Each structure stands twice: as structure tokens, then as C-alpha cells.
Structure 1
Amino acid sequence: MNCTLFVRQYDILNNKWGDFMTKGIGNKRYTPEFKKIVVETMREEGLSYKETRLRFDIAGEDRVRNWERIYLEEGPEGLAVERRGRKITGRPRKLPQSTEEDLIAENQRLRAEVAYLKNLQALVLERERRQQKKRW
């Protein structure tokens, strides 16, 4: 049989796993527990990424590799973080009412303190001017 390498690999996989190429690869979500089991099984049994992907019927070439990287960098808890899509941006969240009231009260207190210090400075300057006039 004079076939290319791809056709031979396809034939082997098709015989082993059935008609896998005709199925569309959907947006399948995997639970954090499943991801953890996949990575730990791969590491314990020394499986390659491809073997692991085929064994657990995982769509996508780099998923297992990414899961392993996250597992090693962040631990099993990192597999639970949702990383798809854009990060949420927009208006800043509103402060709770009590925090806003506290900030308003502090702002008023600081304004009163500034006014007091200005008056005190004016009185001190006035006293210094009087003393200088007495000296002359």
C-alpha cells in the first residue's frame, strides 16, 4: 500500500477510535476536576500529550499542554480559573454607601482643618507684623 504518512496515521486512529475526523470539534467545557485528573494521570503514567488527548477524548491540540502548564505554575486551583474571552472592563464599581459617607465625612473634616490652619497662619503673621512695627 503506497500511502502518505498522514493517511496511515488516519487509518490507524480510525480503526482504533472510530470515525473521529468527521465529528466537529465543539466548544466543550471541561470541569476543573476532570482537568486535574487528566494532568495527574498523564504525569503518573508518563503519557504524551497526544496519547492523553486520545485517551480522554479531548478536542484541541494544545489543551492538555496548557492544562499541564497551569497545573505546574498555579497548582490544581489554577485549573478552575476561567480564562476565555476578554477581561471585563468598564465603569469602576460603585463604592458601598457606608464607604462613600465615610469619605465625605473625612473630606469635610480635612477642609475644616485646612481652614483652621489658614486662620492660624494669618494670626501668626499678623502678630509678627505688629512686633516688627514696635521695633521700629
Structure 2
Amino acid sequence: MPKGIPNKRYTPEFKKLVIETMLEEKLSYSETARRFDISDHHSIQNWERIYLTEGAEGFAVERHVRKRKGNPKKQLPKQVEEDLLAEVQRLRAENEYLKNLQALVLERARRQGKKPR
């Protein structure tokens, strides 16, 4: 069965017709895609969401959505990254020191038979 044309642009009127037909006839996304020769039923899901939240006027708004490929992680400048790593190491050392200090205070209090604060 041939699929729709990839990267095809549909008019707002066509989108409205598709969604209204789907809702009136209680068609599934896949059935609607087959009936209107639309290659991806996810487009119909997006159109329905727009129709239900913004009405038919929402189809007139240009929406350009690019899917990111690979790792969307942004690169920090090398100096900033090094500064952040150094700060993390300093904070880990500080936490370790405070844990040891607390253990010593508790041990001293235990030896003296006092309750710790």
C-alpha cells in the first residue's frame, strides 16, 4: 500500500477536514491516515491536539519542529567546565571532612558519656 508523500505540507483547510471527519466518524488515527493518504498517523495526533486546544485557527500558525539527532547536550567552554569540576571536587572534599568531624564529635561525646547536640 503506498504511503503519503514524505515532507508534504498540508493546508489548514485539509487538516480541519481530516480532524472533523475523524471525530464525526469516530475513526482511529491509523484509519484516518489511510483514508486521507497521510504517511504518518502521528501528524494526525498533533493536528487533533492543536484542533482541540486552539480550534481550527491553530492550523494557520506556522510550526517548524526539528527533531534533534544524537546527544542534545550543549558544550560548555573548556574553562567553565574545568572550574565546575574543580568546585565539585572541593565540595566533595568538604563534605567528607564534615562527615569525619561529625563522627569525631560523636565519638568524643560517647566516650565522655554525654548526649550529642
Correspondence for 1:78 among 33, 58, 70: 58
Q: Distance in 1 between matches of 2:34 and 2:24?
A: 17
What is the root-mean-square deviation in Å for CA atoms of aligned residues? 1.8
Shift in Å, 1:40: 0.2
Larger Rg: 1
Superposition map of 1:56-75 within 5 A: 56-75=36-55
Shift in Å, 1:60: 1.6
Instruction: Report the count of equivalent residues.
Output: 66
Letter in 2 for 1:61: H
Q: Distance in 1 between matches of 2:48 and 2:31?
A: 14
Corresponding position of 1:35? 15
Corresponding position of 1:51? 31
Which 4+ runs in 1 deviate beyond 3 A?
Answer: none
Q: Does 1:26 align with 2:22?
A: no
- Long gaps (5+) in structure 1: 1-13, 15-19, 87-136
Corresponding position of 1:10? none
Corresponding position of 2:113? none
Shift in Å, 1:61: 3.0
| Sequence identity percentage | 64
Letter in 2 for 1:45: E
Corresponding position of 1:113? none
Shift in Å, 1:59: 1.6
Q: Distance in 2 between matches of 1:66 and 1:35?
A: 10
**TM-score when normalising by structure 2:** 0.52
Letter in 1 for 2:17: I
- Long gaps (5+) in structure 2: 67-117
